[in-house]
Amino acid sequence: MNFFDEMAGVWDRTSRPDAAKIASLLSLLRLSQGETVLDVGTGTGVMIPYIRERVGSYVPIVAVDSSAKMLHEASLRYAGEGVHFIQADVERDRLAGRFDAILLYSVFPHFRYPVDTIARLVTDNLRCGGRLLIAHAQGRRHLNQIHERLVSQVFSRKLLPVAEQVEQFTRVGLTVTSFDETDESYHILLQRVGVGDELSVSVAEAIYE
């Protein structure tokens, strides 16, 4: 059993989101009523009510996670609320559909090939003009300390200083429209601007060779 399956039943008791921080981070996506959203690494569905509040009650939300037990917890909580839950590993599995926005909240450090994965999500799953947000409601140093303690239980990469991570994205042709990090948060906002975002996976992977 993987780490997130083991933690699913107690996750919401041990990890309490800061609503004000989440609202501030989510505002960067500029979500509007009726927009479609892909929630990558949804976990127990922490972000679903915040997304729903912004896009309206009638538009489906697609929530993806690699952990079956995390998805089970989320589906119990949000049954009948127009959320489509998909068990998938976005680094390995291709997802169908294009969205107005893609959210990656508290999941980015667990990607083995982060640039490749983000490039593929942008090119395969964002509509032209769509936005992708990488967001954390904690600072980089604090998150890296947490993940260092968990290294034997779950794969994690250290978050790079935000400017260095942005440089890796722009090096492969991705468009970054906003980025910042403080002791309390970390975010990178990308946008699909058109054919220029049709990136080669091999180019992205070259960063790690």
Domains and CATH numbers, the chain: 3-8+18-208 (3.40.50.150)
- At 54, give phi and psi (nearest 5°): -90, -30
Rounded Cα distance between 112 and 46, Å, is 23
- Locate tokens 């983000």: which residue? 118
Helix, strand, coil percent content, the chain, rounded in steps of 5: 40, 20, 40
- At 136, give phi and psi (nearest 5°): -140, 135
Which residues, at least 6 apart from 139, have a Cβ–Cβ distance to it below 8 Å?
181, 182, 183, 184, 185, 186
Whole-model pTM: value is 0.85
pLDDT at 75: 87
Separation in Å, CA 116 to CA 38, 97, 192, 209: 18, 18, 15, 12
Rounded Cα distance between 180 and 86, Å, is 30
pLDDT at 194: 74
Task: For the chain, list residues with pLDDT below 50.
Answer: 1, 5, 8-11, 196-197, 200-209
